[in-house]
Amino acid sequence: MATELVGTPVKRVEDRRLITGKGRYLDDIAMPGMVHMAIVRSPYAHANIKSVDTSIARSMPGVVDVLTGADVPYNPLPMAWPAGGSAGIQNNVNTPRALATDSVKWQGEGVAAVVAETAEQAADAAEAIIVDWEPLPAVVDAEAATKPGAPQLHENAPNNVVFEWSVGDKDGTAEAVKGAEVVVKQRLVNQRLIPNPMETRGDIGLYNPGTDEYTIWMSSQTPHIQRLLLAAFVMGVPEHKIRCISPDVGGAFGTKIFCYADYVLVLLASKRLNGRPVKWVESRRENYQATIHGRDHITYLEVAGKRDGTVDAIRVKTYANLGGRLSTIGPGIPTTLYARVLSGCYRIPNVYAEVVGVYTNTAFVDAYRGAGRPEATYVVERAMDLFADEIGMDKAEVRRRNFIPPDQFPYENPSGLGTASGGAKIYIDSGNYEPALDKALAAAGYGDVAAAKADAKARGKLLGIGLSSYIEVCGVAPSKWIGAVGEGWGAAMWESANIKVHLTGKVVVTAGTQPQGQGHETTYAQVVADELGVPMDDVVVQHSDTQGTPFGYGSYGSRTSSVGMTAAIKAAGKIREKARRYAAHMLEASVDDIEVEGAEYRVKGSPDKKKTLQEIAFALDLAFDAPEGMEPYLDETSYHDTPNCTWPFGTHIAIVEIDEATGVVDLKRYVAVDDVGKKINPMIVNGQLHGGIAQGVGQGEDGSLLSGSMLDYAVPRAEWLPTFELDETVTPSPVNPLGVKGVGEAGAIASTAAVANAVNDALAPLGIRHLDMPLTAPRVWKAIQDARAGSSNGHGNGKEAKA
């Protein structure tokens, strides 16, 4: 079969509407009779609610309804991924409220909602709701929250602990650390981030009193999941009475995976208003307060090994800040998706991780681009640099010596996804890490760094180079493994696709995955067009509506290409088989004698006896002459449960210059060599890498906790970024027929550590051993001042920093 489209940089089919302003995002939708909702949010990080007075608001112009927590029969919202697995972990669960009733746990938690004829009226009336607050002491730091005397958030969570979870060989790791030639210790902070998709969230709820059906338009990555959660775990209505539709989604990066309070509120309000559509669109300020944040780890690291460069053990204790209540899969991120890939691309025989999930008076933390894996990469890549510095070995060489060798695959890592289960195991199936490292070193001019540093020094600049060799686990995940291990959604993780070949020969692909900018309408079409041998223009891809698409678990974790598109390939295979059988009937040949090339179905040895897919579809759809036992129409659905995850890898290198006088960090060059397996569309793959790198670089360089708006939170601008220099190695994944691994998160997973390592490398000549993120100018400047003053606290000589 000809494969002409897969592997080529086809222009995206979704772009015409987007470049002409004809995309249709949530806020672009208006309906007759539509009313608008505004949510009243807590100004306090921690407070009891003594009373809520809605009387003034109710009397204001245009107001049609006011809701408080007492009006919502659907409290609380679900949490679907407790920390789980090996040890029967206790999770002290407190999940979000549709509207808070007794108390609020973070600034921005919703306490009331106003519905009015116009958005202006709703905003005005929301200001008139009077809440009698009893402010309480607040704690925002995860480690501090676990200490005696810290403010307590929830009665069922003493010391604010959500869970204490561990993975790996505790005794063996302790032994390895104890007997090691070299042990390096460091406290590491991976600060909280606000993901900032350009489109904020929003939704429109519509209840039909005539059918008792609910429809919700939502800016979501997971419409099918939301239908399941809303039906079974929130509203107690059957799934077939709820329809979820995601229109064009203006970026998500994880934030739009989850079950949010506003979904419930717009549906409830529409029902209370006898079926008027109710729209809520999040302001950017609300997005900062009440949509999930990412990262926020404090980690105590120990890395142990030999002076020959061998790393024998990594031991960490991580405090993971999960916010004031648990978001939908919050606990899963710092456990399964972090600690289980902690050893990265290295053969480190002893790994032990303790993770303490913690409540604090902050917005909830959940999966943001990379979700756990950037945090793991940051730890292990800082560990490699700190270890190299300690033994006086080149940082690239230390990495090289510890890579999992190519002949060791499939490789089961010691904290890995397989260790907890009795049966199904997830292992690192493939990899060849050294070529990517070598390519990156060559591209970055690694050998000439000393000269570059001297040149920079002469200009009053400190030049640093930072390496980040990463792997990520993508394409989650075999349902069997989830069932056995108890880590995951608490649901399966397969994907589905349906293909119909219409009477005209045009092909419609529907899938349960949900794009947010990744170009699924293009890449699915490339794959299916190749599979069926039809032009890409003849293939249309539909998604995003639970009515009309087969069930899917959605798009996150870089899983659509490896899991979802494999389902499409299987469905195309079924289409081909049925077409072949019907071709045999049409051509009066035996099925075994029909050979398929592209869209042509031919009788072997008689090349003139052939039918095209279009001819077959036409005949079979009309079914005037269908043989006994053959159903009309070419319409096939497949479900694909992946046998394993996929494992992209690579090496990224950042080169920075620091202005010694101001502490300003300037990213001069960024080299990325990635192995994401085969590429369906290399143009889209590179775009994903660019975007991921920019987001990860943004974390390394800035990001504030106290930010109320984009005036305080620095989103990277075009002028701050260099032209990224990309290269590749290609190790096809053995897990799926396309050989793809997934690419949505790779850039974000690698880049933060690369920048942090580069800044630390630049500061090393001053005797600074480790400086935590965010690497803001004031922080870098302070470190330089302290180093010059000979101060050893904080930044230098942190060897004994472990508490």
Partner 1 sequence: MIPAAFEYDRATSVEEALGLLRTHGADAKLIAGGQSLLPLMKLRLARPDRLIDIGRIEALKGIRRLDDGRLAVGSLTTYADLIASPEIKYGLFRDALPTIADVQVRNRGTIGGAIAHADPASDMPALLLALDAELVCRSAHRGQRTIAATEFFEGPFTTVLDPDELLIEIRLPAPSQHHGSAYRMLEQPASGFAIAGVAAVIGQTEAATGDTFDDIRIAVTGVGDHPYRAAAVEAALVGTPVDAPSIAAAVGAVCEGVEVMGDIHADREYRAAMAVVMAQRALEGARARLT
Partner 2 sequence: MAERVSLTVNGKRHDMDVEPRRLLVQVLREDLGLTGTHVGCDTSQCGACTVVLDGSAVKSCTVLAVQADGSTVGTIEGLTPADGLHPIQDAFWGAHGLQCGFCTPGMIMTAADLLARNPDPTDGEIRHALNGNYCRCTGYQNIVAAIRTAADEIRTGAGATPAEAESGAGAASAAAAG
Judge contact between 366 and 331, C-beta under 8 A. no
**618 near partner 1, judged by CB under 8 A:** no
Q: Is 16 exposed, middle or buried (0-12, 13-18, 19+ CB in 10 A)?
A: exposed
Judge contact between 267 and 384, C-beta under 8 A. no
**302 near partner 2, judged by CB under 8 A:** no
Identify what 24 binds: partner 2, partner 1, none; CB under 5 to 8 Å per kind: partner 2
Residue 315 CB-half CA count within 13 A: 20
**123 near partner 1, judged by CB under 8 A:** yes
Per CB under 8 A, contacts with partner 2 among 115-154 are: 120
**336 near partner 2, judged by CB under 8 A:** no
**22 near partner 2, judged by CB under 8 A:** yes
In the bound state with partner 2, the residue whose beta carbon lies nearer, of 78 and 247, is 247
Residue 287 beta carbon to partner 2: minimum distance, rounded to whole angstroms: 9
Separation CA 305–CA 137 (nearest Å): 44
Region from 148-156, 225-233, 527-535, 707-715 binding partner 2, contact rule CB under 8 A: 707-715
Separation CA 628–CA 333 (nearest Å): 53
Peptide bond into 410 cis (omega under 30): yes
Identify what 781 binds: partner 2, partner 1, none; CB under 5 to 8 Å per kind: partner 1
Residue 483 token pair: 């069932």
| Pairing assessment for the beta strands 539-542 and 507-511 based on DSSP bridges | parallel
Per CB under 8 A, contacts with partner 2 among 625-684 are: 683-684
Separation CA 395–CA 454 (nearest Å): 19
Residue 744 beta carbon to partner 2: minimum distance, rounded to whole angstroms: 10
Identify what 704 binds: partner 2, partner 1, none; CB under 5 to 8 Å per kind: partner 1
Separation CA 387–CA 106 (nearest Å): 39
**28 near partner 1, judged by CB under 8 A:** no
Residue 201 beta carbon to partner 1: minimum distance, rounded to whole angstroms: 14
Separation CA 696–CA 374 (nearest Å): 9
Binding-site string for partner 1 from residue 744 to residue 783, where x marks contact by CB under 8 A and - marks none: --------------------------------xxx--xx-
**706 near partner 1, judged by CB under 8 A:** yes
From 241, 272, 285, 690, residue interacting with partner 1 (rule: CB under 8 A):
285
Judge contact between 94 and 154, C-beta under 8 A. yes
Residue 92 beta carbon to partner 1: minimum distance, rounded to whole angstroms: 32
From 215, 518, 651, 733, residue interacting with partner 2 (rule: CB under 8 A):
518
**48 near partner 1, judged by CB under 8 A:** no
Tokens 């009788």 locate to: 603
In the bound state with partner 2, the residue whose beta carbon lies nearer, of 101 and 283, is 283
Residue 664 token pair: 């300003």
Identify what 23 binds: partner 1, partner 2, none; CB under 5 to 8 Å per kind: partner 2
Residue 577 token pair: 């088989």
From 706, 718, 789, 803, residue interacting with partner 2 (rule: CB under 8 A):
718
Separation CA 301–CA 385 (nearest Å): 13
Residue 108 beta carbon to partner 1: minimum distance, rounded to whole angstroms: 14
Strands across the sheet with 182-193, in order?
A: 161-168, 350-358, 311-321, 294-305, 182-193
Region from 102-110, 425-433, 475-483, 685-693 binding partner 2, contact rule CB under 8 A: 685-693
**690 near partner 2, judged by CB under 8 A:** yes
Identify what 442 binds: partner 1, partner 2, none; CB under 5 to 8 Å per kind: none
- E-state strands within 369-474: 461-471
Strands across the sheet with 242-245, in order?
A: 63-68, 110-116, 35-41, 278-281, 202-208, 213-218, 242-245
Contacts of 113 (CB under 8 A, 6+ apart): 37, 38, 39, 40, 66, 67, 99, 265, 269
Judge contact between 755 and 701, C-beta under 8 A. yes
Host H or E run for residue 391: helix 373-391
**26 near partner 2, judged by CB under 8 A:** no
In the bound state with partner 1, the residue whose beta carbon lies nearer, of 408 and 709, is 709
Instruction: DSSP letter for 439, please.
Output: H
Identify what 725 binds: partner 1, partner 2, none; CB under 5 to 8 Å per kind: none
Tokens 């000549």 locate to: 765
Q: Where does this chain bind partner 1 (CB under 8 A)?
A: 119-120, 123-124, 127, 283-285, 661-664, 702, 704, 706-707, 709-715, 720, 776-778, 781-782, 785
Binding residues for partner 2 (CB under 8 A): 9, 11-12, 14-25, 27-28, 30, 120, 196-200, 248-253, 283-285, 516-519, 683-684, 686-688, 690-695, 709-711, 715-719, 721, 723-724, 747
